Every structure is written in C-alpha cells, then in structure tokens.
C-alpha cells in the first residue's frame, strides 16, 4: 500500500522502539469491558495478517476510535487535574489552552498487568 504507516518511522525511531506484540482488543481487568488497544502512533501491523489487509483493518479501527462520539476534549482551567486509565483510553495532547500560557505537567505511570 502506498504511503504505508510502516514506512513513516525513521530508522532512528525504529531502533529505539522495538516491536512489542499486544492484542488489538484488550479486556479491562477490573471491569471486564473490552476496548480497542490500537492507535495511529504506536500500532504498526497485525501479526500473521497480510500487510495490506492488516493496514486496511488498522485504518478502519483508527477511524472508529477517533469518531467524535468517542472523544473527550478537556477544557482546561487553573488547577485542573486530569487522570485517565490507559487500559481503556487513547491519550492525545492537543492543546486546549492559550499559546501564551505555560502548561506544567507531572506524569506518573503505574505499572500494571500485561494486556489480555
């Protein structure tokens, strides 16, 4: 497929980010709910699937995940604290505050179980 998502990573990035295999759908260990576990930035192919067919499926899944009804956009206010569960959320920082203001972020990552 022309302009494949596989070709967009530079050799330097590919060397720093070795492939890791995860399920396309994961089950939340506490709620039992299923969630898509793919995103445009990190999901590059589907194991054991023809590359063109896999890319087509991934593009369809990305489109589903990015539908407006699946998106929460936070409107930032002073002293806001936002937490999300990466087991069932695709995070994308996309502004939301004036360009002339500084956003200070603290990131905490909690180790968890392997996706299933």
CA distance 18 to 14: 6
Asked if pLDDT for residue 18 goes beyond 90, the answer is no
Structure letter (DSSP) for residue 114: P
Domain boundaries, the chain: 1-116
**Does 1-116 carry CATH code 3.40.640.10?**
no
Distance of CA 31 to the CA centre of its chain: 20
The segment with the largest mean pLDDT, out of 8-22, 35-49, 71-85, is 35-49
pTM greater than the 0.85 cutoff: no
Asked if pLDDT for residue 97 goes beyond 80, the answer is no
Residue pointed to by tokens 């759908």: 25
Q: 3-class SS at 51? A: helix
pLDDT at 7: 64
Asked if pLDDT for residue 1 goes beyond 50, the answer is no
């Amino acid at each position: 497929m022309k302009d494949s998502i596989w070709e967009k990573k530079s050799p330097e990035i590919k060397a720093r980010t070795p492939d890791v295999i995860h399920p396309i759908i994961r089950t939340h260990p506490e709620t039992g709910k299923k969630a898509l576990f793919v995103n445009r930035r990190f999901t590059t192919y589907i194991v054991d699937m023809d590359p063109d067919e896999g890319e087509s499926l991934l593009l369809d899944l990305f489109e589903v995940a990015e539908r407006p009804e699946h998106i929460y956009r936070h409107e930032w206010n002073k002293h806001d604290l936002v937490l999300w569960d990466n087991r069932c959320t695709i995070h994308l920082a996309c502004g939301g505050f004036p360009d002339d203001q500084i956003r200070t972020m603290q990131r905490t990552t909690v180790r968890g179980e392997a996706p299933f």
